Amino acid sequence: MAVKSLIETVTVGAGGAASIEFAAIPQAGSDLMLVISLRSGRVAVAEEYRIHFNGSTANLTTRYLEGDGSTVASATSANGFIGIGGSSTSTASTFGNQSIYISNYTSSNFKSFSVDSVMENNATTSYQDIVAGLWSSTAAITSITLTNGTGSNWLQHSTASLYKIKYD
């Protein structure tokens, strides 16, 4: 049987935050799941969301399938790309939602992860991404950092929740 339990939830306050980091992640689980709802302060409709493990931006590869409301694309990335979400000129009071599943985060193998990502925007342009990722490191994951592609702040009311999945 698998048991999923919430480790912690964080909500961005009024001043915004450049990044969100979960540090000293307990090593007692099997998998991790990160559920995030973010909005960027970038002055544009959309923002590229990124993830890093253990403070490193290296050894990360992702392949994604993306729809933007008009076209479909598939590409790879080496910067921790995990999808596109809303920023300050997308529909007001909406947030991008992503679910990130990281298998076997404590193992001594490379770490694979998958992402379902959607952006809320009441217009033709609104992104959806399915992402397959690999962190080519044998180290256990002890921290996860959420940033974006433009160095903009995450806005107030953005949230991130980290869950642990433990198999009996």
Partner 1 sequence: MAEVPVKIVVDLSKPKGERESIIPLTKAEIDEREAMAVEAEAQRVTDEAAAQALTDLKTSARAKLVAGEPLTEEEAATLVF
The residues facing 148 across adjacent strands are 49
Smallest gap, in angstroms, from Cβ of residue 57 to partner 1?
Answer: 10
- Residue 26 within binding range of partner 1, rule CB under 8 A: yes
Could you tell me how many residues of this chain bind partner 1 (CB under 8 A)? 25
CA distances from 8 to 3, 39, 100, 154 (A): 16, 19, 15, 18
Alpha-carbon span 148 to 5, nearest angstrom: 27
Which residues, 6+ apart, have CB-to-CB distance to 86 below 8 Å? 39, 40, 45, 46, 47, 94, 95, 96, 119, 120, 121
Of the listed pieces 19-27, 31-39, 108-116, 129-137, which binds partner 1 according to CB under 8 A? Answer: 19-27
Q: Select the span of 3-11, 59-67, 89-97, 106-114 touching partner 1 (CB under 8 A).
A: 3-11
Closest to partner 1 by CB, 62 or 148: 148
Binding site for partner 1 (CB under 8 A): 7-8, 10, 12-13, 15-26, 42, 44, 149-153, 162
